[in-house]
Structure 1
Amino acid sequence: MLRRLADQFEKSSSVHVAANGIERDADWFLLKLQEEMGELTQAWNRLTGRGRAKGRSAEDMQRDLADETADVLGHLLLFARRNDIDLAAAIERKWLFQPGADVGN
C-alpha cells in the first residue's frame, strides 16, 4: 500500500522536476522534505492566528493546511523510497500495527 503510493508520488515528482530542470541528488529529498515542513508550519501559524493571514479566508487557510500536509506526506514517501526504507515494516516495528490492516472496533 505505502510502496504503491510512494511510486505514484515518484511518477508525479519525476514529471515536475524534469519540466523544471531540477536535479534530485541524495540531499534533495531530505532538503525538500524540510522545506515542505516549513510551509506546513507557515500554514498552521496562519490558520491558528500566529502568522499573517495575508488576505486569506479561513477556508483558504484550511485548504492550504491540507495541501501542505499532502506535500509533507509525498516528500516523506519520496525520501523513504529513495533510501530503500520499508515504511510498512518500520511502522509495524515502531507503532505495532500493520499498515492497511483492518482496524478492529
Structure 2
Amino acid sequence: MLSGLIQQFEKASATYAAANGLERDADWFVLKLQEEMGELTQIWNKATGRGRRKGMTDEELATALADETADVLGHILLFAHRNGLDLAAAVERKWLFRPRE
C-alpha cells in the first residue's frame, strides 16, 4: 500500500515541480513539509476558534482541513522516499502492525 501511494505522490510532485520550475533538492522536501504543517496548523486554528475564519463556513473549514492533512501526508511520504526511509518497517516497529502492501 505505502509503496504504491508513495509512487503516486512522487509522480504528482515531480510533475508539479517541472511545471513550476522548482528544484526538489534535499532541503526542499523537509522545508515543504514544514510549510504544509504551517498551513495545517493555520486551518486548525481557524476551525477551533483560535484564528480568524475570514468568512469560511464550517463546510469550507472541514474541506480545507482535509486538504491540508492530505498535503502533510503526501509530503511525509515524499520526504521518506527521498531519504530512503522504510516507512512500512518503521510502522511495524513503532505501531506494532504491518501495513498492507
**For this structure pair, what is the TM-score category when the shorter chain's length is used for normalisation?**
over 0.9
Whichever residue aligns with residue 40 of structure 1, its letter is L
Q: Distance in 1 between matches of 2:54 and 2:100?
A: 39
Q: Distance in 2 between matches of 1:31 and 1:70?
A: 16
Whichever residue aligns with residue 18 of structure 1, its letter is A
Q: Distance in 1 between matches of 2:8 and 2:93?
A: 25
CA-to-partner distance for each residue in 1:23-80, whole Å, 9 max, x for gaps?
A: 0110000000000000000010000110010111110001000000000000000000
Q: Distance in 2 between matches of 1:6 and 1:43?
A: 25
Q: Does 1:71 align with 2:68?
A: no
* Paired position in structure 1 for 2:85: 85
TM-score scaled to structure 2, two decimals?
0.97
Q: Does 1:6 align with 2:6?
A: yes
* Paired position in structure 2 for 1:16: 16
User: Structure 2: which 5+ runs fail to align?
Assistant: none
Give secondary structure in 1 for the equivalent of 2:88.
helix
Q: Distance in 1 between matches of 2:93 and 2:28?
A: 27
Deviation at 1:100, TM superposition (A): 1.9
Q: Distance in 1 between matches of 2:45 and 2:51?
A: 5
Deviation at 1:3, TM superposition (A): 1.1
Instruction: Tell me how many residue pairs correspond in the alignment.
Output: 101
Whichever residue aligns with residue 20 of structure 2, its letter is N
* Paired position in structure 2 for 1:33: 33
Identity of aligned residues (%): 69
User: Structure 1: which 5+ runs fail to align?
Assistant: none
Does 1 or 2 have the higher relative contact order (CA < 8 Å, sep 6+)?
A: 2
Q: What CA RMSD, in Å, does the superposition of the two structures yield over aligned residues?
A: 0.9
